[in-house]
Amino acid sequence: MAKKQKYYTVWKGKTTGVFDSWDDCQEQIKGVAGALYKAFDSRIEAETALKGNYWSYVSAKDKVVNNKPSAEVVLNSLSVDAACSGNPGVMEYQGVRTFDKERIFHRKFPLGTNNIGEFLALVHGLSYMKKHGLTQPIYSDSVNAIAWVKQKKCKTKLARTAETEELFCFVERAEAWLQNNTYTTEILKWDTENWGEIPADFNRKK
């Protein structure tokens, strides 16, 4: 099935207006502190929104996450999460835009743990934000991942075997990135109790 066309309204950026692709929108918000933008399903909606105020569009419908009030959520942000079928088991992680859950990146491994996935997702997010000159914060719901990133070390107890070798190569790359790079991206803890599941959640919980 073809991906549905979306239109992006930029109220605050290098150039304001309506853009037909995420790449074009991203060019306008790179490096702009407090950039204001939102995705719409039709050009008419996007153009109408441009004539109005950004906050009027996020104060009602969009200030609700999983049907719960989320006035404290920074919608202009990235959210990351991981899922694991068994622990260890098949593991994958992803990063999505918080305000519309549009996937930005995704990776999958045949064997891993949820904690490793959360760690890799967070580092991937930090690297992505720095590479593209974005200033938005990143949300993670993992206390362990946030701590590991601050310590610049993935403190997993998973054994390194032939089956996990590719995964550990990614872990080493992530640790090296943390050791060799500085970043200004703010890492925020997602408040699952009050806001529901993080937007990057894989929706597999029973």
Q: What is the pTM of this model?
A: 0.71
Beta-bridged to residue 103, according to DSSP, are 96
- Amino acid identity, position 44: I
Residue 141 has pLDDT above 60, yes or no: yes
With vertex at residue 181, the alpha carbon angle to CA 179 and CA 184, rounded to the nearest 5 degrees, is: 125
The pLDDT value recorded for residue 203 is 80
Judged by DSSP in three states, 178 sits in helix
Question: What 3-state class would DSSP assign to 179?
Answer: helix
C-beta of residue 68 within 8 angstroms of C-beta of residue 195: yes
Contacts of 172 (CB under 8 A, 6+ apart): none
Query: Residue 145, Cβ neighbours under 10 Å: how many?
Result: 26
12-66 per-position pLDDT tens digit: 889 999 999 988 998 888 877 777 888 888 999 999 989 887 766 764 434 444 4
**Distance between CA atoms of residues 149 and 130, nearest Å:** 15
pLDDT tens track for 164-173: 999 999 999 9
Closest CA to 120 of 97, 143, 98, 149: 149
Nearest one of 88, 96, 97 to 115, comparing CA atoms = 88
Query: What is the per-residue DSSP string for 135-157?
Result: ---EEE--HHHHHHHHHT-----
**For the purposes of burial, counting CB atoms within 10 Å of the CB of 42, is it exposed (0-12), middle (13-18) or buried (19 or more)?**
exposed
Query: What pLDDT score was predicted for residue 181?
Result: 97
CA distance 134 to 22: 13
Return the closest-CA partner of residue 66 out of 196, 200, 191, 206: 196
